[in-house]
Chain A
Amino acid sequence: MLDLQNVSFGYSREQTTLNDVSLSVRPGTSVGLVGESGSGKTTLLRLMLGLIRPTSGVIRFGEESLDTGNSAFMQRYRRAVQPVFQDPYSSLDPRQRVIDIIGEPLRSLRIPGDRTQTVAEALEAVGLPLDAMRRYPHEFSGGQRQRIAIARAIVARPQIVLADEAVSALDLSTRIRIVELFKTLSEKLTLVFVSHDLGVVAALCEEMIILERGKVVESGKTRDILAAPKHPYTQRLLASIPRMPA
């Protein structure tokens, strides 16, 4: 569905942030992109969103290649691929009501239909009450704001949701509920979930890709990697995670 072939990217000529990354996201599978700071996971997500272009290599969406200059393609692509960002305090416009925030993709992608009805369905899907529509972001808690951001991502019924550290800013008790929400959503769409938190990815994603300094070091079924990590970096990552006492 989404294929990256030998993709490299550098913000400057001297420095490559991503080095020869190949991966594919299959329809209906939830994939976790795991790495520490500087591993290139956010850059990878920005490439997949079409916010930046690869320095070399190709990104394919179905039969087409992702071409940020092709506005007709990008219009379709935006409808098919929607993001959720880390910080729900900065990703929601504080001056807009929730109905306008969630309804924004419908407007910009020129999706016809009853806006209020569609927004209401999105709110319901993320477990927020309908009266949230008339309110502003500051009236909501961090977890609720992230629900609003997720509602905005799914309102246009995309095929893929790309989430960047979407639960990292949340408290543990809130985080677990938002992870559950993503899990429910991932039954109906393809989820690419970028996170430094292996525990969250383990709980949420069927497959995972481990990045270290711009390179894919290991990828496969989450279950298999957790049971027998092959690459030394994956092994070190797993061994570093503090565990609950027995």
Chain B
Amino acid sequence: MTALLNIQGLCIRAGDKPLVSDLSFSIRPGERIGMIGESGSGKSMTAMAATGLLPVSIGVSGSIELDSQQVVGATDRVLNRLRGAAAAVVFQEPLTALDPLMKIGRQIAEPVRRRLELESGKASKDAISREVRDLIDKVALPQPERIINSYPHEVSGGQRQRVAIAMALACRPKLLIADEPTTALDVTTQAEILKLLDQLVRETGMALLFISHDLPVVAQVVERVIVLKNGVAVEEGPVKTVFGNPQHDYTKTLVEAARLFDEALGATGS
């Protein structure tokens, strides 16, 4: 099977400073991959590069094939066709990812309308609002009528992240890129959002690139992980292998630290 996302020899630099060096990995359709790293490891940069979202001042070289299209050096026309349909992104902070001046219903409607127009050349008001309702159901937002007519600041953080997920789903992407989607959330809310993401990814069969600094969170939703340190992939493999028997010193440090806090909590929990 051809890869949905195929990154080969990716280098990202800001001026002379390398941010990501010679990174290669691929994601097959339906595969769930986690990217782990601490601040400055280049994980978000990689996600931005994959959808051609990096500013022009940042130098990108190497090859990024998304749904068989070259992203590096692609024009906005090409990228705009890929964004959404090939890959959609859920960002960390739903307060900044959503437009504060637009009601939630309209924000979800935008990607729906765009997709319908691309698919069939037209989008009726009825078809759009039906699908917005469906999406709100899918991400389990309560009181759809109220949510549709609310502004982002009027709903909770967890609900905002559900809105952001609904907007990503509206594109029916082949790959969902989630960049620290639960980091800004409380732990009980995080548990709900992780469950939702897991369920949606399984139902729709989309592939998932899940970016996080949090090892146990990553372990809950993906099959394979890539460990990044200072822009270099130091280890890659199935979650069980990498977390169970880490090879690289850096991975060992991370796994040991995570296990220490985990063991302090004792045997309770999921």
Within 8 A of A (CB), among B171-192: 186-191
Once A237-B188, A242-B194 are accepted as A-B contacts, the answer to whether A226 and B260 lie under 8 Å apart by CB is: no
CB <8 Å contact, B191 and A240? yes
* Complex partner residue of B264 from A203, A237, A242, CB under 8 angstroms: A203
Is B268 a contact partner of A202 (Cβ separation < 8 A)? no
Tell me the dominant secondary structure on chain A's binding face: helix
With a cutoff of 8 Å between Cβ atoms, the chain A residues found around residue B187 in the complex are 36, 196, 198, 237, 240-241
How many A-B pairs have beta carbons closer than 8 Å: the answer is 98
| A226 and chain B: residue at smallest CB distance | B266
Best-surrounded residue of A175, A197, A203 (most CB of chain B within 10 A): A203
Enumerate chain B residues within 8 angstroms of A36, measured Cβ to Cβ: 186-189
Cα distance A243–B194 in the bound complex, in angstroms:
13
Say yes or no: B257 contacts A245, CB within 8 Å. Answer: no
A72 at the interface (CB under 8 A from B): no
Interface membership of A57, Cβ < 8 A: no
For chain B, the count of residues having a C-beta within 8 Å of the partner chain is: 36
User: Would B186 and A242 count as touching, CB distance under 8 A?
Assistant: no
Q: Does A200 contact B (CB under 8 A)?
A: yes
Cα distance A200–B257 in the bound complex, in angstroms: 11
> A51 an interface residue at 8 Å Cβ cutoff?
no
**Docked complex Cα distance between A238 and B262 (Å):** 11
In the complex, A199 has a CB within 8 A of chain B: yes
**Closest chain A residue to B184, Cβ basis:** A37
- A202–B265 Cα gap in the complex (Å)? 6
> Does A176 make an interface contact (CB < 8 A)?
yes
Contact (A202, B213) CB under 8 Å given A243-B270, A245-B239: no
Q: Which residues of B contact A176 (CB under 8 A)?
A: 257, 260-261
Min distance, Cβ B229 to any Cβ of chain A, angstroms: 10
Asked whether, in the complex, the Cβ of B257 is within 8 Å of the Cβ of A172, the reply is: yes
Q: In the complex the two chains form, what is the Cα distance from A239 to B187 in whole Å?
A: 10
Tell me, yes or no, whether B22 is within 8 Å of chain A by CB: no
What residues on A are CB-neighbors of B157 within 8 Å?
Answer: 37
Query: Is the Cβ of B188 less than 8 Å from the Cβ of A240?
Result: yes
Shortest beta-carbon distance, A2 to chain B, in Å? 25
Question: Residue A245 contacts which of B188, B244, B269 (CB distance < 8 angstroms)?
Answer: B244
Contact at B266–A236, with CB atoms within 8 Å? no
Pick the most buried of A175, A197, A223, A239: most chain B CB atoms within 10 A of its CB: A239
Across the two chains, which residue of chain B brings its CB closest to A200? B261
List B residues 237-270 near A (Cβ within 8 Å). 239-240, 243-244, 253-255, 257-262, 264-266, 268-270
- Give every chain B residue within 8 A of A245 (Cβ-Cβ): 216, 219, 239-240, 243-244
Does A173 contact B254, Cβ atoms closer than 8 Å? yes
Are B219 and A242 interface neighbours, CB within 8 A?
A: yes
Question: How far apart sit A243 and B255, CA to CA, in the bound complex (Å)?
Answer: 12
Number of chain A residues whose Cβ lies closer than 8 Å to a Cβ of chain B: 29
How near does chain A come to B233, taking the closest CB pair, in angstroms?
Answer: 17
Residues of chain A lying within 8 A (CB to CB) of residue B38: 171-173
**Residues of chain B with a CB closer than 8 A to A175's CB:** 257
Q: Are B186 and A37 in contact (CB under 8 A)?
A: yes
Across the interface, A243 reaches (CB within 8 A) one of B189, B190, B216, B239, namely B216
Determine the residue in chain A with the shortest Cβ distance to B41: A171
**Are the CB atoms of B257 and A173 closer together than 8 Å?**
yes
Question: Does B131 make an interface contact (CB < 8 A)?
Answer: no
Smallest CB separation, B116 vs chain A (Å): 37
Query: Do residues A244 and B265 form an inter-chain contact, with CB atoms below 8 A?
Result: no
In angstroms, Cα B254 to Cα A202, docked, is: 18
State whether B214 touches A242 (Cβ < 8 A).
yes
CB-CB contacts below 8 Å: A189-246 with B: 196-200, 202-203, 223, 226-227, 229, 236-245
Smallest CB–CB gap between B255 and chain A, Å?
8
Q: Report the minimum CB–CB distance from B263 to chain A (whole Å).
A: 8
Interface centre among A197, A226, A243 (most CB of B within 10 A): A243
When distances are taken between beta carbons in the complex, the residues of chain B under 8 Å from A200 are 261
Given A175-B257, A196-B187, A238-B265, the answer on whether A244 and B213 have CB atoms closer than 8 Å is no
The residue on A at minimum CB distance from B192 is A240
A48 to chain B, nearest CB (A): 23
Residues of A close to B186: CB separation below 8 A = 36-37, 196
Which B residues touch A199, using CB under 8 A? 261-262, 264-265
Knowing that A36-B187, A173-B253 are A-B contacts, what are 5 other residue pairs whose CB atoms are under 8 Å apart, sorted by A's residue number? A172-B215, A237-B187, A242-B216, A243-B265, A244-B216
Sample (10) of A-B pairs whose CB atoms are under 8 Å apart:
A36-B189, A176-B261, A199-B261, A203-B261, A223-B266, A238-B268, A239-B269, A241-B187, A241-B270, A245-B239
Of all A-B residue pairs in the complex, the 4 with the closest CB atoms, nearest first, are: A199-B261, A202-B264, A240-B191, A203-B264
